[in-house]
Amino acid sequence: MVNALAQDSKETKMEARARELHRVMGLSDKEQWKKFMKENYTKSLLERPVKSAVETTDKESSSSTKTSTADNLEEKLKVFERLHNNFKNSKILSLKPVNGRIEMIIENPSHVKANFSITFENKQPYLIDGIRAEVDQQIK
């Protein structure tokens, strides 16, 4: 019973952090984004280099761009800004715990969806240790 309560508490905290990520993504205040990262990301995530891959396709060609930057909060803020620009008025369609992570699907008013896979540290306070977002290719 104690283990089940601990698991429920962990999942509850993970879900709360994922919902807060979505809420803060909707804000236009970069200081709030920075505050969220400092309070909810693990030290290792804050120190980890930003990696992003952008794939675009049109009727005639397909291209893929991968970037890896030196670690700094400014680079993470740029990623957060892209998410904000595309999903500031989005709604959560689905949010569920899956194998120790949270899977969240959001949709903006243009019906563009993003699938988030959010991983957490295994001990309290269950900070976010990784975020992977896959966005519909309609966004340029």
Residue 140 lies in a domain: no
Task: Tell me how far the alpha carbon of residue 34 is from its chain's centroid.
Answer: 14
Residue 21 lies in a domain: yes
Domain that holds residue 38: 2-135
Least confident stretch, 46-60, 79-93, 119-133? 46-60
Residue 49 lies in a domain: yes
Q: How many helices, marked H, and strands, marked E, lie in the chain?
A: 4, 6
Q: Structure pTM? A: 0.81
Give the helix, strand, coil percentages of the chain, each rounded to 5. Answer: 40, 35, 30
Give me the chain's average pLDDT, please.
85
Residue 52 lies in a domain: yes
- What is the count of structural domains for the chain? 1
Instruction: State the CATH number of the domain containing residue 109.
Output: 3.10.450
Please tell me which residue, 53 or 71, carries the higher pLDDT value: 53
Most confident of 13-22, 73-82, 128-137: 13-22
Candidates 50, 46, 135, 29; CA nearest to 90 is 135
Q: What is the pLDDT of residues 117-137, one digit of tens each?
A: 999 999 999 999 999 999 986
